[in-house]
Amino acid sequence: MQVALNPCAYPLANRELTVKCLTIVNSMRQLKSIKVGVNETIKSIEKEVSNLVLISADSEPFEIVQILPELCEEKRVTYIFLPSKSALGRACGLSRSVLAVSIIKNDYSALNHVVESLKVFIFFSVFD
């Protein structure tokens, strides 16, 4: 059974942005710079170590992830909804679905400039 995307899931990434986000999640996973799951994502946002938050738009029930956008806005963390929780799980290297991923700040990562450019790309694709 296909779960429909929730209309409250805004901003929702288009196909191009989704591919870029999932590629970066896979790369950051290899550097151990992600936190997987809603609880771990909330902890990383509250500790202010989160750089970017990716949320599944097809979460069931949606109330599980509904707190994340508000928390991200409060802490000034960039976030975006991705259409598929199973694709997000595969990008994290897991065989199960993942509802939220936090890319954490890492001053020594070679991919910091890629994450920052993705955040700019998200901003301009959402407010275009």
pLDDT at res. 43: 98
H helix or E strand, kind and range, residue 81: strand 78-82
What is the pTM for the complete model shown? 0.93
Q: How far apart are CA 120 and CA 92, in angstroms?
A: 22
Per DSSP, the three-state class of 19 is helix
pLDDT at res. 1: 46
For residues 109 and 122, the model is more confident at 122
pLDDT at res. 3: 64
What's the mean pLDDT in 45-49? 96
User: How is residue 49 written in tokens?
Assistant: 């170590």
Per DSSP, the three-state class of 65 is coil
User: How is residue 35 written in tokens?
Assistant: 């936190």
